[in-house]
Amino acid sequence: MSAPRLCARSLPALLALVAVTTARPARAWVEAHVVGDDARVTIERSGVAHVEHRVTLKIAGGPLKSFDVRGIDRDAVLEPDGYAVPARDAATNSLAGATPLTTELLADDPRAAAKPPGVRIRFDDKGIGRGLFVVSFRYTSHPAIRKQGALASIRWQGPIWEDGFESARATFVLPPAPTEPRADEAPAGGRDEDAEPNAPTFLSTVKRSGESDEIQLLRPYTSKGEPVVWAIRVDARAFTDPSADRTIGPAPPPATLDLLEPARRALVLGSAAALFLLYALMVILKSREVRAQARARGTVATPLVPLPAAVRAPLAGLALVAGVALELMLATGTAGAALVAVATALAAHRTPAWTHASRGPGRWLPISEEEAFERLERPRGAHLDATTRTGKVLLVLALAALAAGVVATLRTSAYHATLIGLDAAALLAIFCTGRIAELLPDAVAGRAPFLRDVSRRIRRHLAKDDADGLRVVPRIRVPDRGADPDELRIGVVPRSPLAGFGAIEVGVVFVPGAGGAIRMPEILLRFTAGSDCERAMSIVARRGRSTRGRRPDERVIAFSPRLPTARMTAAIAAALAVRATDRGRKATPARPRRAA
């Protein structure tokens, strides 16, 4: 057998060997939904409760290696004998297909003290595959048992599930007592007689025997993310403590800052104070910058909330700190996000109104291109402006610090990390409102970059048309009663124009827009009425609009490009310049674009 044929036959085997040796474990898609929870709470006379959860999971894909349960008792002590079994085996009380599991308490995050504790359930071996499974795990805790006269009230909160499902059930097994237990029919707002009762939310069934009393509560439907509080009233003689109006066993402590360790409490309070001072200082500095820049352009700064900076700054800092704290502490971020929005509004600025003062007579003076188009310095004095170099750097650093906080929070809660990420709006209100670009541009410097681009493009067009002798001359307008120019234009002058030709001028008008000033270029063609230039421009003049000239015998035709770009503006000006010469009149010129 030849060597090429041997290689061809051995190639598939070599490829298969490489695929087997380099293959990596596949990350299978898995999705688990809770479709039921059956809790059994056995309470001893001493007040100790043994809780068993039988959670029904519907798994798609797989295998499922672990899942978390949030909302168990804070003083829970996990028991090791847990398992997961297919639902068909659970219906017959068979453990033939059971999979052992291990449980561990999730660390309680001190930054989100109101966040309920949880337990992580890990399945041994390779996990559990797709289908319907019943997961059983147990723990010991001390529910809140409060005696009120001859009866005792027991309130116990079940886990918080991320899925809504039907028929949540809790069974309480109690020590025997002369009076049978019943569902707590207390009004939702307390013991006020005018309050509306909440008893119809649950269905109850009572079973009594000589060894125990059993009451089963059934809730027809449990909403997504809703903590279900089970409440019953029992005979106080079922428990060993005969005292009245006190809690048997440690009730779940409220989540407050006082429960944190002194070092952590100092760290949290210090971070809150630093955030308050930093944001309030940024609001004050931003207000000063905007006020100074607006005054230099002849306008007035307009904050979104019309309050003095000395009032807005502390209010903005306080609203931001309170909003972030509520986002981390509460189960829902609505209240915290609302406060962050208030802080954003207090820090934001509106675009100031422009005032175009009527100008008096003046004279136009030619200047050199070096003087007209010299490179301008970047705007300074605005460190909290995203349009300046310093502002860009500070904004990137601030967003980087925020991203670090999001990553740190993501390890414990993706929901709270998302909320903190959305709080970037408070930073954008500082750096992206009240910008220099929103002010009326300088009369000369604001037009120079655009007109420099137009001048360069006109020369390119004229070079293509071989129109030697055409010149581009910048001009400034100086008022008769002033020394500072109030406008800059460029004039296009052919060397041998037609009789009656006056000038071709390219100017720019600024109009306010959503993101700042919008340049609206305009090309003016000036010629004498009844001249050769007017006859040559008769067809072209139909595509512009006629305006008043500086002299009685002068006609002016204004052209506006369809798009306010330097390319279209230069094309119109170059075409008019060629048309205004003898060679352009004899040739068939390119017509200017129709006015917008």
Q: Per-residue pLDDT tens for 432-457?
A: 988 887 887 877 888 888 998 998 88
Alpha carbons 206 and 393: distance in angstroms, whole number: 69
For residues 161-180, average pLDDT: 85
Q: Per-residue pLDDT tens for 125-136?
A: 778 888 888 999
- Judge whether 178 and 151 are in contact, CB under 8 Å: no
Q: Per-residue pLDDT tens for 234-285?
A: 988 888 754 444 444 444 444 445 545 677 778 888 888 999 999 999 999 9
Q: Per-residue pLDDT tens for 79-110?
A: 888 888 898 888 888 888 888 888 888 865 54
Q: Of 462 and 355, which is predicted with more confidence?
A: 462
- Asked if pLDDT for residue 166 goes beyond 50, the answer is yes
Strand partners, 527: 501, 555
What SS3 class is residue 477? strand
Alpha-carbon distances of 345 from 306, 314, 419, 517, rounded to whole Å? 10, 13, 18, 23
Q: Which phi and psi (to 5°) does residue 280 adopt?
A: -60, -40
Q: What pTM does this model have? A: 0.49
Q: Per-residue pLDDT tens for 368-426?
A: 888 888 765 555 667 888 888 888 899 999 999 989 988 887 776 777 788 888 899 99
Q: Minimal CA–CA distance to 232: which of 280, 166, 293, 186?
A: 186
- Asked if pLDDT for residue 585 goes beyond 60, the answer is no
Please name each of the domains of the chain with its CATH number.
Answer: 30-248 (2.60.40.1730), 260-438 (no CATH), 448-586 (3.30.1460)
Stretch (H or E) spanning 153: strand 151-157
pLDDT at 51: 92
pLDDT at 340: 93
pLDDT at 317: 93
**What letters, b where the CB count within 10 A reaches 16 and e where it falls short, cover 269-285?**
eeebeeebeebbebbbe
